[in-house]
Amino acid sequence: MWRIVNEAVRLLYGNGMIRQDIYLRRYRWHVVVYYAVTRMYCDEIMDDLRSIGCRGKNLRVAYNNLSEGKVDTGLTYSNYDRRETVMVIARTSTPAQFLNSYDHERKHLEAHIADEFNLDPWGEETAYLCGEIGQQMYPVAKEFLCENCHMSKSKNNSCGCGM
Is 50 exceeded by the pLDDT of residue 10? no
Q: Is the pLDDT of residue 141 over 80?
A: yes
Instruction: Map out the domains of the chain as residue ranges.
Output: 10-153
What average pLDDT does the segment 33-47 reach? 96
> Is a pLDDT exceeding 80 seen at residue 159?
no
Q: What is the pLDDT of residue 16?
A: 83
Q: CA-to-CA distance for 18 and 33, rounded, in angstroms?
A: 8
The DSSP line for 8-47 is: S-EEEEETTEEEEEEEEGGGTEEEEEEEEE-GGGHHHHHH
DSSP H or E run through 89: strand 84-90
Q: Which amino acid is at 154?
A: S
- pLDDT tens by residue, 74-130: 999 999 999 999 999 999 999 999 999 999 999 999 999 999 999 999 999 999 999
Given a cut of 80, is residue 149 above it in pLDDT?
no
What is the amino acid identity at position 54?
Answer: C
The pLDDT value given to residue 157: 55
DSSP 119-160: --TTSHHHHHHHHHHHHHHHHHHHHHHSHHHHHHHTTTS---
132 pLDDT more than 90:
yes
Q: Is the pLDDT of residue 13 over 50?
A: no
